[in-house]
Amino acid sequence: MELAQKIKELTEAHLNDPSHFLVDVLISKYKPTKIVVQLDGDKGISIDSCAEVSRKLSEEIETLNLIEGAYNLEVGTPGLDVPLKMKRQYYANVGRTLKVQVKSKQYIEGRLLEVNEERIVIETPSREKKKELVKMEILFSDIEKTIVTVSFN
């Protein structure tokens, strides 16, 4: 079994809160091996929860002897500049401003209003009347990447 897949399985086994979920596992090819485990939650995830998963995961990596030699393990949330990867992350960001790149390479920025299994609905300024807001539906199949933008209002 591939190391990343094994780390995913071990991580998911240590997520005690059903609202927490694994976003991704990244493993460097360089020595010492660096393992980055990205977690999120439907309503966010605390540092304490990430630390608990990190301790348990580290113990299992050692016990199962998954990595020879030294390694670095980072368990945390994806950064603000990391694109959303799962539909579940969209649900957690309803009400926030997104910058969506569609497959035509066009960017659409607006506030996320709705999410369902097929699409998202965002509120964005009208192209004709900038002060007027319009609702725009975007199918998940048309999305290249989505970033949550930070506003300091």
Do 118 and 65 share a structural domain? no
Instruction: Quickly count: other Cβ atoms within 10 Å of residue 80's Cβ.
Output: 9
Q: Which residue has the tokens 């990595």?
A: 67
Q: What is the DSSP letter of 42?
A: B
What is the pLDDT of the chain when averaged over all its residues? 93
Q: Is the pLDDT of residue 28 over 70?
A: yes
Q: How far apart are CA 68 and CA 116, in angstroms?
A: 43
Q: Is the pLDDT of residue 1 over 80?
A: no
Joined together, the tokens standing for residue 103 give 């497959």
CATH number of 141's domain:
2.30.30.100
Q: Is the pLDDT of residue 60 over 80?
A: yes
Do 50 and 18 share a structural domain? yes
Please write the tens of the pLDDT for every residue from 69-124: 899 999 999 988 899 999 999 999 999 999 999 999 999 999 999 999 999 999 99
Q: Is the pLDDT of residue 26 over 80?
A: yes
Do 92 and 64 share a structural domain? no
For the chain, the first-to-last Cα distance in angstroms comes to: 48
Q: What is the DSSP letter of 95?
A: T
Please report the pLDDT score of residue 129 as a whole number. Answer: 78
Q: Is the pLDDT of residue 144 over 90?
A: yes
Look at residues 76, 102, 134 and tell me which one is the last residue of a structural domain. 76
Do 65 and 21 share a structural domain? yes
Q: Is the pLDDT of residue 141 over 90?
A: yes
**φ, ψ for residue 49 (rounded to 5)?**
-65, -40
Look at residues 54, 76, 98 and tell me which one is the last residue of a structural domain. 76
ω before 18 within 30° of 0 (cis)? no
* Burial degree of 53 (CB within 10 A; 0-12, 13-18, 19+): buried
Look at residues 53, 76, 99 and tell me which one is the last residue of a structural domain. 76
Residues spanned by the domain of 140: 87-148
Do 54 and 29 share a structural domain? yes
Please report the pLDDT score of residue 153 as a whole number. Answer: 60
Which residues are registered as beta bridge partners of 111? 97, 123
Q: What percent of the chain has pLDDT over 90?
A: 85
Counted residue by residue, the chain has a size of: 153
**Looking at residues 1-20, what average pLDDT do you find?**
94
Q: How far apart are CA 38 and CA 34, in angstroms?
A: 13
**Looking at residues 20-34, what average pLDDT do you find?**
93
Count of the separate structural domains present in the chain:
2
